[in-house]
A = this chain, B = another copy of it.
Amino acid sequence: MSDSLADLHPLDAATLLTPGPDGTLTGRTSPAYANMVGPFGGTTAALLLRAALEHDRRIGEPVALTVNFCAAIADGEFAVTVREIRSGRSVQHLYVELRQGETIAANATVVCAVRSPTWAHQSATMPAVPPADALPILTGKPPLAWLSRYDFRYTEGPPFIPGAAHAEPQSARSVLWVADNPARPLDYLSLAAICDVFIVRIFQVRGTRTPAGTVSITSYFHATSEELAAQGTRPVLAKADSMRFGGQFFDQQGEVWSDSGKLLASTTQVVWFRD
């Protein structure tokens, strides 16, 4: 690790990719975002997006990102390749793979676009919640490194899992303010990571923790980079819910809102679990 790496925000350090002579990018997992097994999935999503955004033929801003988590990512180095699938005049499709040895541990499809102003309308409204500064920052979090990389302020849904099964399934819904810790101005990378910031829904519904992991996540970015810049380092509002659990999988739908009530991203994921 160089001295300059230590000066970077942990998210920038965790998503740092160094190009080799054949165009393959090299990165390494960051202890700052360690999860139960391997890195926090949001960091992986952010780094696959960053690989696409740093591609020398990339146009425009990201619109859609699907990341598939294909195998556990071991602590250490990985290689990332980006392939240009199709570039139209204003819309571009890229395909990204992350490898460790012979194993493709994650892949992603990315849609970028040079967006022009059009008719605009937000049909959804932000959940009515207290402002972030009216809520306490969650303390006493479990000792997983990535949980310390975010400040959470819950307004709906229990932040902690009791560890004893509920007699009846509880709501899968949570609403909370989220900010990077340390503070970092919002951009597409941090937004992509925040789309995966929700505690595993089935833990909240059942009241117990069992092995579980995201298999695939899709996020759509509705905000322009100017809107993200305007949000700065202030917390964003994040909401998640699920619809059906069973046969080892469940879904999750999420939304990320600016504090001025603009939908910045919508996201969905499918999660594997074991009893």
Contacts and interface: CB of A to CB of B under 8 A. Distances in A.
Interface in A24-78: 63-64, 66, 68, 70-71
Interface stretch (A137-145, A147-155, A237-245): A237-245
A248 B251 CA distance: 28
The complex is assembled from copies of this chain, and their number is 2
Interface string A217-246: 010101010000000000000000111111
A260 interface: no
Contact of A246 (B97, B119, B241): B119
Majority DSSP secondary structure for residues of A touching B: strand
A268 interface: yes
Contacts of A272: 91, 113
A171 interface: yes
Contact of A220 (B103, B171, B268): B268
B123 A218 contact: no
B253 A224 contact: no
B122 A244 contact: yes
Interface residues of A, number: 63
Interface stretch (A15-23, A104-112, A156-164, A178-186): A104-112
Residue among A85, A107, A124, A244 with max Cβ neighbours from chain B (10 Å)? A244
A160 to B, nearest CB: 20
A270 B111 contact: yes
A113 B70 contact: no
Contacts of A216: 64, 66, 109, 111, 218
Contacts of A171: 123
A215 B93 CA distance: 9
B115 A247 contact: yes
Contacts of A222: 243-244, 246-247, 249, 251
A68 B270 contact: no
Contacts of A85: 68, 70, 97, 104, 107
Interface of A: 63-64, 66, 68, 70-71, 85-86, 88, 90-91, 93, 95, 97, 103-105, 107, 109, 111, 113, 115-124, 169, 171-172, 205-206, 215-216, 218, 220, 222, 224, 241-249, 251, 253, 255, 262-263, 266, 268, 270, 272-275
13 contacts: A66-B216, A68-B93, A70-B85, A71-B86, A86-B103, A93-B107, A95-B95, A109-B216, A119-B206, A120-B247, A122-B243, A220-B270, A244-B262
